[in-house]
Amino acid sequence: MSASAAMLPDGRLHLNHGPIDVVLRAWGDRTEVKRAHAQAAAVFRGVLPDLCRELPLLRRALPAERPRGLVARRMHEAALPFTDRFVTPMAAVAGAVADHLLAALRDGRRLTRAFVNDGGDIALHLEPDQSFRCGVVTDLAAPGLDAVATITAEDWIGGIATSGRAIKTQGGRSFSLGIADSVTVLAADAATADVAATLIANAVDLPGHRAVERVPASSLDPDSDLGDRLVTVGLGTLKPIEIRHALAAGLAEAERFRSRGLIRAAILHLGGARAVCGPAPVAIAA
What is the side-by-side order of every strand in the sheet holding 182-187? 4-7, 13-17, 20-28, 111-118, 121-126, 159-163, 182-187, 265-270, 273-277
Q: How far apart are CA 118 and CA 218, in angstroms?
A: 25
Q: According to the model, what pLDDT value does residue 172 have?
A: 47
At residue 71, what is the residue type?
Answer: V
How much helix, strand and coil, in percent to the nearest 5, is found in the chain? 35, 30, 35
pLDDT at position 194 over 50: yes
φ and ψ of 179, to 5 deg: -120, 5
The model's pLDDT over 30-89, given as tens digits with 9 standing for 90+, comes to 999 999 999 999 999 999 999 999 999 999 999 889 999 999 999 999 999 999 999 999
Q: According to the model, what pLDDT value does residue 170 have?
A: 40
pLDDT at position 29 over 50: yes
Q: Is 145 exposed, middle or buried (0-12, 13-18, 19+ CB in 10 A)?
A: exposed
pLDDT at position 171 over 50: no
Q: How far apart are CA 42 and CA 36, in angstroms?
A: 10
At residue 86, what is the residue type?
Answer: F
Closest CA to 173 of 102, 91, 234, 232: 91
Closest CA to 151 of 138, 136, 164: 136
160-169, 179-188, 246-255: which has the minimum mean pLDDT? 160-169
pLDDT at position 282 over 60: no
Polymer length in residues for the chain = 286
Strands (E), 93-204: 111-118, 121-126, 131-136, 147-152, 159-163, 182-187
pLDDT at position 196 over 70: yes
- CB burial readout 230-265, b (16+ within 10 A) else e: bbbbebeebeeebbbebbebbbebbebbbeeebbbb
Q: According to the model, what pLDDT value does residue 186 have?
A: 95
The model's pLDDT over 241-265, given as tens digits with 9 standing for 90+, comes to 999 999 999 999 999 999 999 999 9
Return the bridge partners of 123, or none: 116, 159
pLDDT band at 139 (very low <50, low <70, confident <90, very high): low
3-state secondary structure 22-53: EEEEEEECHHHHHHHHHHHHHHHCCHHHHHHH
Domain count for the chain: 1
Cβ atoms of 28 and 34 closer than 8 Å: no
What domain range includes position 17? Answer: 4-285
pLDDT at position 144 over 80: no
The model's pLDDT over 75-126, given as tens digits with 9 standing for 90+, comes to 999 999 999 999 999 999 999 999 999 999 999 999 999 999 999 999 999 9
Q: What is the pTM of this model?
A: 0.93
Determine how many CB atoms are found less than 10 A away from the CB of residue 273: 14
Cβ atoms of 121 and 162 closer than 8 Å: yes
Torsion angle, alpha carbons of 240, 243, 244, 249, to 10: 160
Residue 210 maps to which CATH number?
A: 3.10.520.10
DSSP 130: -
Q: According to the model, what pLDDT value does residue 143 have?
A: 62
Q: How far apart are CA 245 and CA 239, in angstroms?
A: 10
Closest CA to 186 of 82, 100, 281: 281
